[in-house]
Every structure is written in structure tokens, then in C-alpha cells.
A = this chain, B = another copy of it.
Amino acid sequence: MRIVQKFGGTSVGSLERIRATADLVEAELARGNQIAVVVSAMSGETNRLIGMATEMDATPCEREIDALVATGEQVSAALLAIELQHRGIRAYSYNGAQAGVTTSGDYKRARIKSISCAHLQNHLQAGEVPVVTGFQGVDEQGNITTLGRGGSDTSAVALAVAVEADVCDIYTDVDGIYTTDPRIVSKARKMEQISYEEMLEMASLGAKVLQTRSVEMAMRYNMPIHLRSSFENITGTMVVKEDDTMERAAISGVAYNRDEAKITILGIPDHPGIAANVFGPVAEAGINVDVIVQNVSAQGFTDITFTVPRSDYQATMKLMRDLCTSLHGRDVQGDDGVAKVSVIGVGMRSHAGVAKTMFDALAAEGVNIQMITTSEIKITVVIEEKYVELAVRSLHTAFALDATPDER
């Protein structure tokens, strides 16, 4: 097999951790696999570099920030290559420019356009290990760019696609994706497989194990991702294309996000364009609106309710109060003590009654549903935050996700 292995900042965070990471590379080579490696900067290094820059200038030039922080991965790539060579493995570090990673010219948030990697393929065919810096590339003028925080996952998937790897192994500090948060539900099970679509829905709910862009790219090119632990040599969760051989429970997992706030603007005139009036200023302020519900209009007036991240609650409330005044609305009400709970599963498409099961389970526990929103493979409810654990546990049981004693 040809494998791209990706190691994050904690996996190269110290010389001791680099040695443990080299063990993982060596083990895959010993199994006869061809290995390319993608690394992040040593944990803490990127923040150290940015700290120096912002001490010089509170808003330092983005071109220079990218040139500065790109050194972080170059250091960890060289150190890992040195450790691999120390073990007799022919390993060679490559920074973004050397690896042929061409990106857009958007500093701090560049997008990979292409990877010219014939030289890396030659290494792989020769049983050698290219160690490539994640997170970075160069634009068409040769300026150093970075992909934004977490971009190393995307680098790894893009490299796996470019070298036609069989799988992209992403090593993290968790050992896979669980049916729900094991800290809340002791019977949570590690999933063997999850579809790209489900993974994206999980990620959007704050289960930030994989960077969303990396999953989107893997889905586009049908590159399997093996999400696995850098601490234990055990199988993790495969993120793959949905296909017929997959287990088809109605629901694969239950996700939640506590950090939500809900805002309602009451009694505003219901005319075309009113939603743009409400959400225009919020978008301009860079605030992400998530769930939106608009009541049926009564006598030409309507109420709009939506959620925002809790950290944006105060700013959004102020925008809405101003708007309410200018639109002669009736009132603005807010609640920064709400949470979202979702059930997710590609099986939902073919299984009727998921919504009914969900609402019944919550009703049985006395959990009041404040808002509901649905997508093709997800149903989300907004509830009072204090009910989160109760709701997650009851849904996990209701959808038969609880592990049997054997599975634990």
C-alpha cells in the first residue's frame, strides 16, 4: 500500500515525541508499505513565532507572517527526517515550495491549486520517505503562503491525492470517531467507518477532529482517511465514501454543541428582503448564523429566531436592538443558555421515522425543543443547555447506538 501519514503538532512536539512518531513510520515501512509523511510545526512553535511578530506590530503584514510561521513545519520535517535517517531509513524533508505545492495567493488562508510531485513519487517507488511540511505552499509568484490553522490535514489529503496513495492516515490524540462524546455517554462506541458526509456534519457541530476542508477534499477525490491514535497502534475510524457495504443504521452518531445563543426579533414588517435586512449586518460583522426559524406572518408582521456562537451573543444583540428600532419592530429577546443536539446518519435517507423517534425520546425525558432544523442526513434541535447530557444519552439509546458489553 501507498500511505500518506500525517502527524500534528503534539506528535512532533518534542524530541521524544518525534522518536515515537518515527516508530509509527518505521512500523508501516516494515509492513512493506510506501510512506510519505506530512508534519505540522512542533506544538507551541507557531504561537511563539506569531507572538514575536505581534510584539513588533499588532497587525503584522500577512505575507511576512506566512513566511515566518512556515519555518515551524520546516524545522519539524527536518528533525523527523534526521531521526528516520538515524534508523537507516532514507528520508528527505521538503518544504511547501520544494514539494511543489502551489496555492492561491491568499496569505493565511491560501487554497491548494496543485502539487507537482514527480520527485516525491520517485522517492516512494525507491522505498524512500519524503517528509513534507503541512500547512504551507507557495503562490504562483513564489511567495510563501499558509493554509490557515489546521491546514496540515488538508495538505496531507492533497498530497495523498497527488501521489495516488491508497489511504491518508491522520494521527491525532483521539483514537477515532465515536457515536457520541464518551465523556457524556459511557456506552459510546468507536465507529469503524463513517461517510465523508457524516464526518462533515459532525465537524460542523464542533467535533473538530478533522479540518472540514480536508474532509471536503477527500470526498471530492474519494481518498479514504484513516483517523487514528498517535499513542496506540490500533485501528481508528475510516472516513470513506458511502457505499452499499456500509452498515446502514438509521443514525450513526449523536453530536452536540453547547456554545450557542438564541436571538429572536419580534414583530418586524414581513416584506420581501426582510431576512437580508436582518442578516446583512450580522454577516458584515463576521458573525456566523446557524439555525434560522421564521414564524408564519400574522397581519403583515413576523418573528425571526436564529442562533449564533455564544461568544458573539452580546454583539449580535446590539445589532438586533438597533435594527429593531429602525424597523419599528416590537422587541428583541435573547437567551445565551441554549445548546444544539443533532442526530446524524446517511441511513436517515432510507429510514422513515427518525424525526419521530428523536422527538419521542426527548419528550419522554421532558426536554423541551425550542427550534428544529434538518438537512438530508441530520436533524438538529435547539434545547436548554442544562438538558444536553440527558438529551444525548437518551438519543444514543433510542437509536440503538449503545455498545454491548462485548464492544467496550
Contact = CB atoms under 8 A, between A and B. Distances in A.
Given A61-B82, A78-B68, A81-B61, A56 B95 contact: no
Contacts of A85: 57, 60-61, 64
Given A95-B67, A98-B142, A142-B98, A75 B60 contact: no
A79 B56 contact: yes
Interface in A67-85: 67-68, 70-71, 74-75, 77-79, 81-83, 85
Say whether chain A's binding surface is mostly helix, strand, loop, or mixed. helix
A144 B74 CA distance: 11
Nearest to A19: B56
A75 B68 contact: yes
Contacts of A79: 52-53, 56, 64, 68
B68 A74 contact: yes
A63 interface: yes
Given A15-B52, A56-B18, A64 B86 contact: no
Contact of A55 (B15, B65, B70, B71): B15
B56 A86 contact: yes
Nearest to A70: B74
Nearest to A57: B86
Given A68-B78, A71-B74, A95-B144, 19 more contacts: A19-B56, A53-B78, A53-B82, A56-B82, A56-B86, A57-B86, A60-B85, A61-B82, A61-B85, A64-B85, A64-B92, A65-B78, A67-B74, A67-B81, A67-B93, A68-B75, A68-B82, A97-B97, A97-B98
